[in-house]
Amino acid sequence: MAEERTFIAIKPDGVQRGLVGEIIKRFEQKGFKLVAMKFLTASEDLLKEHYIDLKDRPFYAGLCKYMHSGPVVAMVWEGLNAVKTGRVMLGETNPADSKPGTIRGDFCIQVGRNIIHGSDSVESAKKEAALWFKPEEMTAYKSCAVDWIYE
């Protein structure tokens, strides 16, 4: 089985609205394995690096400022097709385009308050996880539920 890891971050609006537990619950219930998690107020430097691909976009400065405005929950989840499936679970970047049953479809109204970030590719996931976590902060273990999740 080719497992992969994805980086997921609950943004300040998700934390402030008390949605951390619900979001973690959805990833756990799906069958993904949590391998790293931090609760922190991210530094401006970390956020500028995280969103470096967007630096030429008009909303870049505001996005970094917003993400620095309060605590976030940074996580790495592992499982089969974790990046693609995680993105489907999140819904569209613009919550207005998200289907009910997705995180953004159920909990968000505007794109500027879409409560969660998820890696958009395996390469991005590796880069983002390495940016937010040291190697020793990520765990490797076999979940006792693995045989009940995968064939």
Residues tagged active-site: 117
Check if the beta carbon of residue 34 is closer than 8 Å to that of residue 77: yes
93 is annotated as contributing to ligand binding? yes
As beta bridge partners, residue 118 has 8
Helix ranges (H only) for the chain are 12-16, 20-30, 44-50, 60-67, 82-90, 103-107, 122-132, 146-149
11 is annotated as contributing to ligand binding? yes
Check if the beta carbon of residue 17 is closer than 8 Å to that of residue 93: no
104 is annotated as contributing to ligand binding? yes
DSSP-based three-state secondary structure for 42? coil
5 is annotated as contributing to ligand binding? no
The binding site consists of: 11, 59, 87, 93, 104, 114
Binding site as annotated, residues for ATP: 11, 59, 87, 93, 104, 114
